[in-house]
Amino acid sequence: MAERILMNEYKALAKEDWVNIELNDEDIFNWNVGLIVLNPDSLYYGGYFKASMKFSKNYPYSPPEFRFLRPLYHPNIYPDGKLCISILHAPGEDEMSGELASERWSPAQRVESVLISILSLLDDAEVSSPANVDAGVMLRKDFESYKALVRKDVEQSKKDIPEGFVMPTHESSMNRPTEKADDADFWADSEVDSDVFGGSDSDEDLDLDDQDTGSDDEEDDQD
């Protein structure tokens, strides 16, 4: 089941110009990801940010692991390249952090929503609980110095552009026709929507209504 879901997500993302994905050793559970920032208003515009993404055999019940391979100086990125971001945290509410279930991973999420959240995080850092305290302080108190370090990271990231890969631009992205299917078509094509999203009345099945409202049913937190 996980293989079929991931293959459909991989094929859908292959049509996008803001991300470049290659399978590591043809393993559908192990992706090499290049995130491309096409927003000209972003400090990270023009960057190619290489990362690894690993999935468990029980995906989508567990979130993927994500790590930048060239760590960025950012309040929410650890020195090893891992992120502090709610969407990658295990399902369910966390009283210690105050995160709601609706903010964390759920099996209704997709890889695309994770990657978009990461791109958004780059320019919208959460400085109240930073993974890199120094970066959080610099962002708040010395923005020009912070911006200079970001631009340095962007230039360094260009070294990871694969040979022969043509970097898209904001203009080329705007002129590119969209071929994106809606969510209903995506899950219909996956042939597993009934298995994952409540196709039977078994106690072990996932209740999407509870996920959408942030309910903390024990059945939703599956290993």
Residues catalogued as catalytic: 84
User: Which element (helix H / strand E) includes 31?
Assistant: strand 27-36
Number of neighbouring beta carbons within 10 Å of residue 168: 15
CA distance 89 to 64: 9
Q: What are residue 67's phi and psi, to 5 degrees?
A: -150, 130
Number of neighbouring beta carbons within 10 Å of residue 107: 20
Q: What are residue 54's phi and psi, to 5 degrees?
A: -120, 140
CA distance 171 to 160: 22
In this structure, which amino acid lies at residue 206? L
